[in-house]
Structure 1
Amino acid sequence: MTSLDEFDLPEPPDEDLAPPEDPWAPPLEGLVPAPAPAATPADGNGAGDALALSDELSARIGKVTGTLLSTQIKAIAETQLAELLTPEIYQRIEELSRRRLAAELETQLVAAAHAADAAENPPTTVFGSTEEFVRVRLAPGYRRDVIDNREIRWCPQWWRHEEAISRLEALWRTWEHFRLDATTGMSVWWRDHADHHMSVLMSSDGPFSNCSVQHGHHTPDNAIAPLPTDPAPAGMFPDTREL
Protein backbone atom coordinates (compact mmCIF):
# COMPACT_ATOMS: atom_id res chain seq x y z
CA MET A 1 0.00 0.00 0.00
CA THR A 2 1.34 3.37 -1.00
CA SER A 3 1.94 5.97 1.72
CA LEU A 4 1.22 9.71 1.38
CA ASP A 5 4.84 10.39 2.18
CA GLU A 6 5.85 9.07 -1.22
CA PHE A 7 4.13 12.04 -2.96
CA ASP A 8 5.70 15.50 -3.15
CA LEU A 9 2.75 17.59 -1.76
CA PRO A 10 2.98 21.41 -1.28
CA GLU A 11 3.07 22.80 2.18
CA PRO A 12 -0.27 24.23 3.42
CA PRO A 13 -0.41 28.05 3.42
CA ASP A 14 0.28 29.90 6.56
CA GLU A 15 -3.01 31.22 8.02
CA ASP A 16 -1.32 34.48 9.08
CA LEU A 17 -0.28 35.32 5.51
CA ALA A 18 -2.54 37.46 3.27
CA PRO A 19 -4.09 35.72 0.26
CA PRO A 20 -2.32 36.25 -3.04
CA GLU A 21 -3.37 39.28 -5.02
CA ASP A 22 -5.86 38.74 -7.86
CA PRO A 23 -4.63 40.60 -10.95
CA TRP A 24 -8.26 40.95 -12.14
CA ALA A 25 -9.66 42.39 -8.91
CA PRO A 26 -10.59 46.16 -8.99
CA PRO A 27 -8.50 48.53 -6.89
CA LEU A 28 -9.85 49.20 -3.39
CA GLU A 29 -8.64 52.79 -3.22
CA GLY A 30 -11.28 55.52 -3.75
CA LEU A 31 -14.30 53.31 -3.01
CA VAL A 32 -17.08 54.87 -0.85
CA PRO A 33 -18.50 52.56 1.77
CA ALA A 34 -22.23 51.81 1.42
CA PRO A 35 -24.50 53.65 3.88
CA ALA A 36 -25.61 51.68 6.84
CA PRO A 37 -29.28 50.61 6.85
CA ALA A 38 -31.59 52.83 8.87
CA ALA A 39 -32.07 51.53 12.35
CA THR A 40 -35.61 50.53 13.31
CA PRO A 41 -36.62 51.93 16.70
CA ALA A 42 -37.20 49.31 19.26
CA ASP A 43 -40.59 50.80 20.27
CA GLY A 44 -42.09 50.38 16.77
CA ASN A 45 -42.52 54.10 15.91
CA GLY A 46 -40.75 53.53 12.65
CA ALA A 47 -43.44 51.12 11.55
CA GLY A 48 -46.15 53.67 12.49
CA ASP A 49 -44.46 56.40 10.45
CA ALA A 50 -44.21 54.06 7.49
CA LEU A 51 -47.90 53.17 7.82
CA ALA A 52 -48.92 56.85 8.04
CA LEU A 53 -46.82 57.63 4.97
CA SER A 54 -48.44 54.75 3.16
CA ASP A 55 -51.94 56.01 4.02
CA GLU A 56 -51.12 59.53 2.86
CA LEU A 57 -49.62 58.22 -0.35
CA SER A 58 -52.64 56.00 -0.93
CA ALA A 59 -54.95 58.97 -0.41
CA ARG A 60 -53.04 61.08 -2.91
CA ILE A 61 -52.98 58.28 -5.43
CA GLY A 62 -56.72 57.76 -4.95
CA LYS A 63 -57.39 61.47 -5.48
CA VAL A 64 -55.33 61.61 -8.64
CA THR A 65 -56.94 58.42 -9.92
CA GLY A 66 -60.41 59.77 -9.20
CA THR A 67 -59.65 62.99 -11.06
CA LEU A 68 -58.36 61.10 -14.05
CA LEU A 69 -61.39 58.81 -14.07
CA SER A 70 -63.77 61.78 -13.81
CA THR A 71 -62.04 63.51 -16.69
CA GLN A 72 -62.21 60.38 -18.84
CA ILE A 73 -65.85 59.74 -17.98
CA LYS A 74 -66.74 63.34 -18.80
CA ALA A 75 -64.94 63.12 -22.12
CA ILE A 76 -66.74 59.87 -22.95
CA ALA A 77 -70.10 61.35 -21.97
CA GLU A 78 -69.53 64.46 -24.08
CA THR A 79 -68.56 62.31 -27.03
CA GLN A 80 -71.64 60.13 -26.71
CA LEU A 81 -73.88 63.15 -26.20
CA ALA A 82 -72.47 64.80 -29.31
CA GLU A 83 -73.27 61.64 -31.24
CA LEU A 84 -76.84 61.54 -29.91
CA LEU A 85 -77.64 65.22 -30.46
CA THR A 86 -78.82 65.19 -34.03
CA PRO A 87 -79.90 68.42 -35.78
CA GLU A 88 -83.53 67.49 -35.12
CA ILE A 89 -82.87 67.13 -31.38
CA TYR A 90 -80.99 70.44 -31.32
CA GLN A 91 -83.96 72.12 -32.95
CA ARG A 92 -86.34 70.57 -30.44
CA ILE A 93 -84.20 71.74 -27.49
CA GLU A 94 -84.09 75.28 -28.86
CA GLU A 95 -87.86 75.29 -29.28
CA LEU A 96 -88.43 74.09 -25.71
CA SER A 97 -85.99 76.69 -24.39
CA ARG A 98 -87.82 79.47 -26.22
CA ARG A 99 -91.17 78.30 -24.81
CA ARG A 100 -89.82 78.13 -21.28
CA LEU A 101 -88.27 81.58 -21.54
CA ALA A 102 -91.51 83.00 -22.92
CA ALA A 103 -93.50 81.46 -20.06
CA GLU A 104 -91.12 82.90 -17.45
CA LEU A 105 -91.27 86.34 -19.03
CA GLU A 106 -95.07 86.20 -19.13
CA THR A 107 -95.19 85.26 -15.44
CA GLN A 108 -92.91 88.13 -14.53
CA LEU A 109 -94.92 90.59 -16.62
CA VAL A 110 -98.20 89.49 -15.06
CA ALA A 111 -96.74 89.80 -11.54
CA ALA A 112 -95.37 93.26 -12.32
CA ALA A 113 -98.74 94.32 -13.73
CA HIS A 114 -100.56 93.09 -10.62
CA ALA A 115 -98.09 94.90 -8.37
CA ALA A 116 -98.51 98.14 -10.33
CA ASP A 117 -102.30 97.79 -10.24
CA ALA A 118 -102.25 97.14 -6.48
CA ALA A 119 -100.07 100.21 -5.94
CA GLU A 120 -102.39 102.41 -8.00
CA ASN A 121 -105.63 100.87 -6.74
CA PRO A 122 -105.13 99.52 -3.23
CA PRO A 123 -107.97 97.22 -2.09
CA THR A 124 -110.60 98.91 -0.02
CA THR A 125 -111.37 97.63 3.45
CA VAL A 126 -114.71 96.13 4.42
CA PHE A 127 -114.74 98.01 7.71
CA GLY A 128 -113.80 101.59 8.20
CA SER A 129 -112.33 101.33 11.70
CA THR A 130 -111.39 99.01 14.52
CA GLU A 131 -114.54 99.94 16.42
CA GLU A 132 -116.78 98.98 13.49
CA PHE A 133 -114.91 95.70 13.03
CA VAL A 134 -115.33 94.76 16.71
CA ARG A 135 -118.98 95.79 16.84
CA VAL A 136 -120.13 94.33 13.50
CA ARG A 137 -117.81 91.38 12.88
CA LEU A 138 -115.87 90.25 15.96
CA ALA A 139 -118.45 90.52 18.73
CA PRO A 140 -121.18 88.61 16.85
CA GLY A 141 -118.73 86.05 15.48
CA TYR A 142 -116.59 85.40 18.58
CA ARG A 143 -119.21 84.53 21.17
CA ARG A 144 -118.27 83.47 24.67
CA ASP A 145 -120.09 83.38 28.01
CA VAL A 146 -118.64 86.46 29.67
CA ILE A 147 -121.44 86.89 32.24
CA ASP A 148 -121.56 83.73 34.34
CA ASN A 149 -118.11 82.39 33.50
CA ARG A 150 -115.58 84.29 35.59
CA GLU A 151 -112.70 82.55 33.88
CA ILE A 152 -113.41 84.57 30.75
CA ARG A 153 -113.13 88.33 31.12
CA TRP A 154 -114.46 91.05 28.85
CA CYS A 155 -114.82 94.77 29.12
CA PRO A 156 -117.67 96.47 27.21
CA GLN A 157 -115.50 99.56 27.15
CA TRP A 158 -112.53 97.75 25.62
CA TRP A 159 -111.53 101.00 23.90
CA ARG A 160 -110.36 102.29 27.32
CA HIS A 161 -107.56 99.69 27.37
CA GLU A 162 -104.47 100.47 25.33
CA GLU A 163 -103.53 96.81 24.96
CA ALA A 164 -107.03 95.93 23.76
CA ILE A 165 -106.98 98.72 21.17
CA SER A 166 -103.66 97.52 19.79
CA ARG A 167 -104.61 93.83 19.66
CA LEU A 168 -108.09 94.40 18.23
CA GLU A 169 -106.79 96.74 15.56
CA ALA A 170 -104.27 94.06 14.63
CA LEU A 171 -107.15 91.60 14.34
CA TRP A 172 -109.00 93.98 12.05
CA ARG A 173 -106.00 94.66 9.79
CA THR A 174 -105.11 90.98 9.46
CA TRP A 175 -108.75 90.07 8.80
CA GLU A 176 -108.86 92.55 5.92
CA HIS A 177 -105.67 90.97 4.54
CA PHE A 178 -106.60 87.30 4.88
CA ARG A 179 -110.15 87.72 3.59
CA LEU A 180 -108.64 88.13 0.11
CA ASP A 181 -107.39 84.52 0.26
CA ALA A 182 -110.46 82.43 -0.50
CA THR A 183 -108.73 79.13 0.28
CA THR A 184 -106.92 79.17 3.63
CA GLY A 185 -107.05 82.85 4.52
CA MET A 186 -109.72 82.68 7.22
CA SER A 187 -108.30 79.48 8.68
CA VAL A 188 -104.93 81.13 9.14
CA TRP A 189 -106.57 84.23 10.59
CA TRP A 190 -108.55 82.28 13.20
CA ARG A 191 -105.66 80.02 14.17
CA ASP A 192 -102.75 82.47 14.23
CA HIS A 193 -104.48 85.75 15.07
CA ALA A 194 -108.01 85.62 16.47
CA ASP A 195 -107.53 82.68 18.83
CA HIS A 196 -104.22 84.06 20.05
CA HIS A 197 -105.18 87.67 20.74
CA MET A 198 -108.65 86.94 22.09
CA SER A 199 -107.29 84.31 24.49
CA VAL A 200 -104.87 86.87 25.90
CA LEU A 201 -107.47 89.63 26.16
CA MET A 202 -110.10 87.41 27.79
CA SER A 203 -107.81 85.57 30.19
CA SER A 204 -108.24 85.95 33.94
CA ASP A 205 -104.90 87.77 34.17
CA GLY A 206 -105.34 89.84 31.01
CA PRO A 207 -106.13 93.53 30.65
CA PHE A 208 -109.83 92.90 31.47
CA SER A 209 -109.10 91.03 34.71
CA ASN A 210 -110.68 93.76 36.89
CA CYS A 211 -113.53 94.46 34.51
CA SER A 212 -116.87 92.70 34.08
CA VAL A 213 -119.96 92.87 31.94
CA GLN A 214 -122.11 93.45 35.02
CA HIS A 215 -120.03 96.26 36.52
CA GLY A 216 -118.40 97.56 33.38
CA HIS A 217 -114.95 99.06 33.22
CA HIS A 218 -112.85 98.87 36.35
CA THR A 219 -112.71 101.79 38.70
CA PRO A 220 -109.52 103.78 39.26
CA ASP A 221 -109.10 102.03 42.58
CA ASN A 222 -108.76 98.56 41.05
CA ALA A 223 -107.08 99.53 37.81
CA ILE A 224 -104.11 97.43 36.76
CA ALA A 225 -100.91 99.34 37.37
CA PRO A 226 -98.36 99.65 34.55
CA LEU A 227 -95.37 97.34 34.65
CA PRO A 228 -92.69 98.88 36.88
CA THR A 229 -89.54 99.93 35.04
CA ASP A 230 -86.30 101.67 35.99
CA PRO A 231 -84.54 104.13 33.70
CA ALA A 232 -81.77 102.53 31.65
CA PRO A 233 -78.20 103.88 31.91
CA ALA A 234 -77.52 106.92 29.77
CA GLY A 235 -76.29 106.01 26.30
CA MET A 236 -77.39 102.37 26.49
CA PHE A 237 -80.26 102.97 24.07
CA PRO A 238 -79.34 105.87 21.76
CA ASP A 239 -82.16 107.66 20.01
CA THR A 240 -82.23 106.24 16.48
CA ARG A 241 -83.79 109.46 15.20
CA GLU A 242 -80.58 111.29 16.05
CA LEU A 243 -78.16 108.76 14.51
Structure 2
Amino acid sequence: MSGTGAAAGLRVLVVDDERPALDELAYLLGADDRVAEVLPCGSATDVLRLLREREVDCVFLDVQMPGLTGLELAEVLSRFKEPPPIVFVTAHEQHAVEAFDLRAVDYVLKPVRPERLAEAVRRVLATTRPAAGEASSTDGGGAQVAVERGGVTRFIDRSDITHVEAQGDYARLHTTGGDSYLVRIALTTLEEDWAEAGFHRIHRSLLVALGHVAELRSDAGRTTVVVAGTELPVSRRHSRGLRDVLVRRAGGR
Protein backbone atom coordinates (compact mmCIF):
# COMPACT_ATOMS: atom_id res chain seq x y z
CA MET A 1 0.00 0.00 0.00
CA SER A 2 3.04 2.21 -0.33
CA GLY A 3 2.43 5.49 -2.09
CA THR A 4 5.69 7.39 -1.72
CA GLY A 5 8.22 5.31 -3.63
CA ALA A 6 11.47 3.76 -2.44
CA ALA A 7 13.54 6.93 -2.50
CA ALA A 8 10.99 9.25 -0.85
CA GLY A 9 10.14 9.64 2.81
CA LEU A 10 7.29 7.85 4.47
CA ARG A 11 3.69 8.98 4.21
CA VAL A 12 2.38 8.31 7.72
CA LEU A 13 -1.23 8.16 8.87
CA VAL A 14 -1.60 9.10 12.56
CA VAL A 15 -4.79 8.15 14.41
CA ASP A 16 -5.84 9.32 17.89
CA ASP A 17 -9.21 10.57 19.15
CA GLU A 18 -7.53 12.94 21.65
CA ARG A 19 -6.49 16.09 19.82
CA PRO A 20 -3.47 17.02 21.99
CA ALA A 21 -2.04 13.53 21.66
CA LEU A 22 -2.72 13.53 17.91
CA ASP A 23 -1.02 16.90 17.45
CA GLU A 24 2.03 15.88 19.51
CA LEU A 25 2.52 12.61 17.64
CA ALA A 26 2.06 14.31 14.27
CA TYR A 27 4.63 16.95 15.29
CA LEU A 28 7.22 14.40 16.43
CA LEU A 29 6.82 12.29 13.30
CA GLY A 30 6.93 15.36 11.08
CA ALA A 31 10.30 16.29 12.63
CA ASP A 32 11.79 12.96 11.52
CA ASP A 33 13.78 13.33 8.28
CA ARG A 34 12.57 9.91 7.14
CA VAL A 35 8.93 11.06 7.17
CA ALA A 36 7.73 13.03 4.14
CA GLU A 37 4.10 13.60 5.10
CA VAL A 38 1.90 13.15 8.16
CA LEU A 39 -1.86 12.66 7.76
CA PRO A 40 -3.74 13.07 11.09
CA CYS A 41 -7.12 11.43 11.74
CA GLY A 42 -9.32 11.57 14.82
CA SER A 43 -11.38 8.41 14.31
CA ALA A 44 -11.58 5.07 12.53
CA THR A 45 -14.29 6.49 10.28
CA ASP A 46 -11.96 9.28 9.16
CA VAL A 47 -9.25 6.71 8.48
CA LEU A 48 -11.40 4.55 6.24
CA ARG A 49 -12.67 7.61 4.38
CA LEU A 50 -9.13 8.91 3.82
CA LEU A 51 -7.83 5.53 2.64
CA ARG A 52 -10.39 5.49 -0.15
CA GLU A 53 -8.57 8.46 -1.68
CA ARG A 54 -4.98 8.30 -0.42
CA GLU A 55 -2.27 5.70 -0.04
CA VAL A 56 -0.05 5.56 3.04
CA ASP A 57 3.13 3.73 3.97
CA CYS A 58 2.19 3.02 7.59
CA VAL A 59 -0.31 3.80 10.34
CA PHE A 60 0.51 5.00 13.87
CA LEU A 61 -2.59 4.05 15.79
CA ASP A 62 -4.03 4.62 19.27
CA VAL A 63 -5.74 1.63 20.92
CA GLN A 64 -8.53 3.12 23.03
CA MET A 65 -10.90 5.05 20.76
CA PRO A 66 -14.69 5.41 20.60
CA GLY A 67 -16.47 3.43 17.91
CA LEU A 68 -13.95 1.06 16.39
CA THR A 69 -10.99 0.60 18.73
CA GLY A 70 -7.48 0.69 17.36
CA LEU A 71 -7.27 -3.10 17.55
CA GLU A 72 -10.54 -3.47 15.64
CA LEU A 73 -9.39 -0.94 13.03
CA ALA A 74 -6.09 -2.79 12.63
CA GLU A 75 -8.03 -5.99 11.98
CA VAL A 76 -10.00 -4.21 9.25
CA LEU A 77 -6.80 -2.86 7.69
CA SER A 78 -5.23 -6.33 7.78
CA ARG A 79 -7.86 -7.44 5.23
CA PHE A 80 -6.70 -4.87 2.68
CA LYS A 81 -5.02 -6.26 -0.42
CA GLU A 82 -1.83 -4.49 0.67
CA PRO A 83 -2.22 -3.84 4.42
CA PRO A 84 -0.09 -0.97 5.75
CA PRO A 85 2.32 -1.68 8.62
CA ILE A 86 0.80 -0.76 11.98
CA VAL A 87 2.52 0.86 14.96
CA PHE A 88 0.34 1.08 18.07
CA VAL A 89 0.87 4.15 20.26
CA THR A 90 -0.99 3.84 23.56
CA ALA A 91 -0.87 4.37 27.31
CA HIS A 92 -2.12 0.82 27.92
CA GLU A 93 0.42 -2.00 28.23
CA GLN A 94 -2.11 -4.81 28.45
CA HIS A 95 -2.98 -4.88 24.75
CA ALA A 96 0.54 -5.66 23.52
CA VAL A 97 0.00 -9.37 22.91
CA GLU A 98 -3.20 -8.71 20.93
CA ALA A 99 -1.34 -6.06 18.95
CA PHE A 100 1.44 -8.42 17.93
CA ASP A 101 -1.14 -11.12 17.16
CA LEU A 102 -2.29 -8.62 14.52
CA ARG A 103 1.32 -8.46 13.27
CA ALA A 104 1.98 -4.94 14.47
CA VAL A 105 5.43 -3.65 13.64
CA ASP A 106 5.84 -1.98 17.04
CA TYR A 107 4.03 -1.05 20.25
CA VAL A 108 4.99 2.35 21.68
CA LEU A 109 3.86 3.45 25.13
CA LYS A 110 2.75 6.97 25.99
CA PRO A 111 4.14 9.40 26.95
CA VAL A 112 6.05 9.05 23.71
CA ARG A 113 9.80 9.69 23.79
CA PRO A 114 11.29 11.01 20.53
CA GLU A 115 14.06 8.38 20.52
CA ARG A 116 11.52 5.58 21.00
CA LEU A 117 9.42 6.95 18.16
CA ALA A 118 12.52 7.11 15.97
CA GLU A 119 13.06 3.40 16.64
CA ALA A 120 9.47 2.70 15.58
CA VAL A 121 10.08 4.53 12.29
CA ARG A 122 13.23 2.45 11.77
CA ARG A 123 11.20 -0.74 12.25
CA VAL A 124 8.61 0.44 9.74
CA LEU A 125 11.39 1.08 7.22
CA ALA A 126 12.86 -2.34 7.95
CA THR A 127 9.46 -3.81 7.04
CA THR A 128 8.75 -1.74 3.94
CA ARG A 129 12.24 -0.91 2.66
CA PRO A 130 14.84 -3.32 4.02
CA ALA A 131 17.89 -1.45 2.72
CA ALA A 132 16.80 1.83 4.30
CA GLY A 133 15.73 0.20 7.53
CA GLU A 134 18.84 -1.99 7.83
CA ALA A 135 16.71 -5.06 8.29
CA SER A 136 18.54 -8.23 9.19
CA SER A 137 18.47 -11.23 6.91
CA THR A 138 17.37 -14.68 8.02
CA ASP A 139 18.71 -14.70 11.56
CA GLY A 140 15.54 -13.18 13.02
CA GLY A 141 17.33 -10.11 14.38
CA GLY A 142 15.52 -6.82 14.73
CA ALA A 143 12.06 -8.32 15.27
CA GLN A 144 10.57 -8.42 18.72
CA VAL A 145 7.91 -10.61 20.25
CA ALA A 146 5.54 -9.47 23.02
CA VAL A 147 5.21 -12.01 25.84
CA GLU A 148 3.37 -11.89 29.15
CA ARG A 149 4.36 -13.28 32.50
CA GLY A 150 2.82 -12.45 35.85
CA GLY A 151 0.87 -9.52 34.41
CA VAL A 152 4.00 -7.94 32.93
CA THR A 153 4.47 -7.59 29.17
CA ARG A 154 8.04 -8.02 27.96
CA PHE A 155 9.50 -7.61 24.50
CA ILE A 156 12.08 -10.23 23.58
CA ASP A 157 14.23 -10.28 20.47
CA ARG A 158 13.28 -13.06 18.09
CA SER A 159 17.01 -13.66 17.56
CA ASP A 160 17.17 -14.87 21.20
CA ILE A 161 14.58 -17.59 20.60
CA THR A 162 16.27 -20.98 20.16
CA HIS A 163 13.24 -23.18 19.56
CA VAL A 164 9.45 -23.20 19.78
CA GLU A 165 7.36 -25.99 21.26
CA ALA A 166 3.67 -26.54 20.51
CA GLN A 167 1.35 -26.72 23.50
CA GLY A 168 -2.18 -27.13 22.16
CA ASP A 169 -3.31 -23.88 20.55
CA TYR A 170 -0.37 -22.12 22.22
CA ALA A 171 3.37 -22.11 21.62
CA ARG A 172 6.20 -22.00 24.15
CA LEU A 173 9.16 -19.87 23.15
CA HIS A 174 12.52 -21.02 24.54
CA THR A 175 15.34 -18.46 24.71
CA THR A 176 19.11 -18.40 24.94
CA GLY A 177 18.92 -17.33 28.58
CA GLY A 178 16.98 -20.46 29.51
CA ASP A 179 13.67 -18.65 29.99
CA SER A 180 10.50 -19.75 28.23
CA TYR A 181 7.27 -17.92 27.48
CA LEU A 182 3.82 -19.15 26.48
CA VAL A 183 2.14 -17.19 23.69
CA ARG A 184 -1.34 -17.51 22.18
CA ILE A 185 -0.14 -18.40 18.68
CA ALA A 186 -0.36 -21.78 16.95
CA LEU A 187 2.88 -23.43 15.90
CA THR A 188 1.68 -23.66 12.29
CA THR A 189 1.23 -19.88 12.24
CA LEU A 190 4.74 -19.29 13.55
CA GLU A 191 6.13 -21.79 11.06
CA GLU A 192 4.68 -19.75 8.21
CA ASP A 193 5.42 -16.29 9.62
CA TRP A 194 8.98 -17.02 10.78
CA ALA A 195 10.23 -19.19 7.93
CA GLU A 196 12.19 -16.33 6.37
CA ALA A 197 13.76 -15.62 9.76
CA GLY A 198 15.37 -19.06 9.78
CA PHE A 199 12.89 -21.10 11.83
CA HIS A 200 12.47 -24.65 10.57
CA ARG A 201 10.02 -27.42 11.46
CA ILE A 202 11.80 -30.51 12.83
CA HIS A 203 8.88 -32.30 14.45
CA ARG A 204 5.11 -31.99 14.57
CA SER A 205 5.53 -30.08 17.85
CA LEU A 206 8.86 -28.29 17.34
CA LEU A 207 10.44 -25.44 15.39
CA VAL A 208 14.13 -24.62 15.72
CA ALA A 209 16.06 -21.47 14.93
CA LEU A 210 18.63 -22.76 12.45
CA GLY A 211 21.19 -20.20 13.60
CA HIS A 212 21.17 -21.76 17.08
CA VAL A 213 21.67 -25.38 15.95
CA ALA A 214 25.08 -26.51 17.24
CA GLU A 215 24.95 -30.22 16.32
CA LEU A 216 22.97 -32.65 14.20
CA ARG A 217 23.19 -36.20 15.55
CA SER A 218 22.18 -39.50 13.98
CA ASP A 219 22.27 -42.80 15.85
CA ALA A 220 20.52 -46.07 14.97
CA GLY A 221 18.05 -44.29 12.72
CA ARG A 222 17.25 -41.65 15.34
CA THR A 223 18.05 -38.01 14.54
CA THR A 224 18.35 -35.17 17.05
CA VAL A 225 19.68 -31.62 17.11
CA VAL A 226 21.44 -29.78 19.90
CA VAL A 227 20.14 -26.25 20.35
CA ALA A 228 21.54 -24.07 23.16
CA GLY A 229 22.60 -27.19 25.03
CA THR A 230 19.24 -28.92 24.65
CA GLU A 231 18.88 -32.08 22.57
CA LEU A 232 15.66 -32.13 20.54
CA PRO A 233 14.13 -34.95 18.51
CA VAL A 234 13.85 -34.69 14.73
CA SER A 235 11.08 -36.72 13.13
CA ARG A 236 11.98 -39.07 10.30
CA ARG A 237 9.98 -37.07 7.75
CA HIS A 238 11.89 -33.87 8.60
CA SER A 239 15.41 -35.24 9.09
CA ARG A 240 16.57 -35.16 5.46
CA GLY A 241 15.22 -31.67 4.82
CA LEU A 242 16.81 -30.35 8.00
CA ARG A 243 20.19 -31.82 7.12
CA ASP A 244 20.05 -30.30 3.64
CA VAL A 245 19.15 -26.82 4.87
CA LEU A 246 21.84 -26.86 7.57
CA VAL A 247 24.49 -27.90 5.03
CA ARG A 248 23.39 -25.13 2.66
CA ARG A 249 23.56 -22.54 5.44
CA ALA A 250 27.04 -23.72 6.33
CA GLY A 251 28.16 -23.34 2.69
CA GLY A 252 28.53 -27.05 2.12
CA ARG A 253 27.38 -29.14 -0.81
Same fold at TM > 0.5: no
Q: Which has the higher strand share?
A: 2
State the TM-score, normalized to the length of structure 1: 0.20
Using CA pairs below 8 Å that are at least 6 residues apart, which structure has the higher relative contact order?
Answer: 1
TM-score, normalised on structure 2? 0.20
- Higher helix fraction: Structure 1 or Structure 2? 1
